[in-house]
Amino acid sequence: MLEGRKIVVGVTGGISAYKTCYVVRGLKKLGADVRVVMTPSATQFVTPLTFSTLSGNEVIVDMFPASTHQGTSVRTWHIDLALWAELMLIAPATANTIAKIAHGIADNFLTSLVLAVRCPVVLAPAMDVDMYLNEITQRNLKILKELGYLIIEPEEGELASGLVGIGRMAEPEKIVEFVKDFFAGVKFDLKGKKILVTAGPTYEPIDPVRFIGNWSSGKMGFEIAKASVHRGADVILISGPTYLNTPKNVKRIDVVTSDEMFDAVVKFYNEVDVVIMSAAVADYAPAQRFEKKLKKEDLPEGMLELKLKKTKDILKYLGDNKRNQILVGFALETDNAFENAIQKLKQKNLDFIVLNTLGEGSGFGCDTNIVTIISKDGKVESLPKMTKYEVAHKILDKVSQMFNKGEAKG
């Protein structure tokens, strides 16, 4: 099932390293080509020779020779492996290594490789219960999840310390099954395609401290960017203000106002094959921006009247200036949702539109969404509640189908 798949297995310094021997053997039995990378600490638990024998390949521990007496050949192994791998699995992933990856520290071969790989990275955490539950470790894992790293959650049970709790590395069979499922579902169908994704809100200034905005978190757009990279695309993410971390291997451009988003999108429009406009761009902006903070005592009767002007219609501009790009829009409506989405689809010359549902577990700030995908040919696909990452793949499935049918050129 994994015939010919190129997998790097990273081993860090924890007692669970002995389990990784069975992981490597399991991957090899399924036909994978496995290369093992170890941290120096990992060699205290299992020898490199063991993993070399199991994988049938050289094991890399150090970036450089121990001394010049042993040779002066220094290869860019981390770059070579980074370009070779289709998946990197780190098992066990200790609290120390998780912290280093989350903060971009590359002080050994394994952590240097993580920074260089273009493929998805899977971590199987393993540590004592208090280390795992420590708020710093949990924060680091949250950072990695937001960046697009995949986590095989640890299990509960007896730990090496004698304590009982969560922190045991998942069993080898479960890890191998995770890798099988990953490759069964993974599609590199967008390799070579360039995708531009917009995300988040825009803020339209009233004065130096106040603005008109909306509740968009940017999560949907960031999940689309992450999923696009996982499917092999080159991705530009243009984001309004958000707290979210940039997904791995995504080029991010930050903007604040609708004018700034318009300029950024137009700048890259002719370079990309697909535009997915998931940003909640403000429809109106203050006609006048006050240079100083408006104070309540300066307002007659405490009332402030703002005149608003329409912002530039980014989607309309893109639809009017399409070459062969696939153009995808989003709609969030509170009434006559379907009819309004159809009207937007036609007016903006979109290939398809994603109609968001605003409600419990769907819409702004949620990790899940309920959407309906409406195509220009009239096809309607209503999806059940899914994670926004799963919704992203449904959108990309539609994009991929259009390329396969020759409805767009990349």
User: Which CATH number covers residue 226?
Assistant: 3.40.50.10300
User: Is residue 341 in a domain?
Assistant: yes
pLDDT of residue 1: 75
User: 274 near 196, Cβ under 8 Å?
Assistant: yes
Same domain, 181 and 286: no
Same domain, 226 and 130: no
User: 118 near 86, Cβ under 8 Å?
Assistant: no
pTM: 0.78
In the chain, pLDDT over 70 holds for what percent of residues? 95
pLDDT of residue 72: 44
Same domain, 123 and 237: no
Same domain, 351 and 278: yes
Same domain, 62 and 122: yes
Work out the mean pLDDT of the chain and round it to a whole number.
Answer: 91
Domain count, the chain: 2
Same domain, 336 and 277: yes
Residue 408 pLDDT class (50, 70, 90 cuts)? low
User: 167 near 131, Cβ under 8 Å?
Assistant: yes
For residues 158-162, give the mean pLDDT. 88
pLDDT of residue 303: 73
Domain boundary among 152, 185, 218: 185
398 annotated among ligand-binding-site residues:
no
Same domain, 363 and 243: yes
Same domain, 138 and 239: no
Q: Is 324 noted as a catalytic residue in this protein?
A: no
* Domain range enclosing 66: 6-185
Residue 304 pLDDT class (50, 70, 90 cuts)? confident
Whether 298 shows a pLDDT value over 80: the answer reads no
283 annotated among ligand-binding-site residues:
yes
344 annotated among ligand-binding-site residues:
yes
293 annotated among ligand-binding-site residues:
yes
pLDDT of residue 68: 52
Domain boundary among 139, 158, 185: 185
Provide, for the chain, the percentages of residues in helix, strand and coil under a 3-state DSSP scheme, each rounded to the nearest 5.
35, 25, 40
330 annotated among ligand-binding-site residues:
yes
User: Is residue 318 in a domain?
Assistant: yes
Same domain, 70 and 111: yes
Same domain, 88 and 225: no
For residues 179-203, give the mean pLDDT. 90
Q: What is each CA distance from 45 to 1, 16, 35, 109, 133, in whole angstroms?
A: 30, 9, 18, 18, 24
Domain boundary among 185, 216, 234: 185
Same domain, 177 and 201: no
Dihedral angle over CA of 314, 315, 318, 322, nearest 10: 180
Selected catalytic residue, list 57, 96, 140, 214: 214
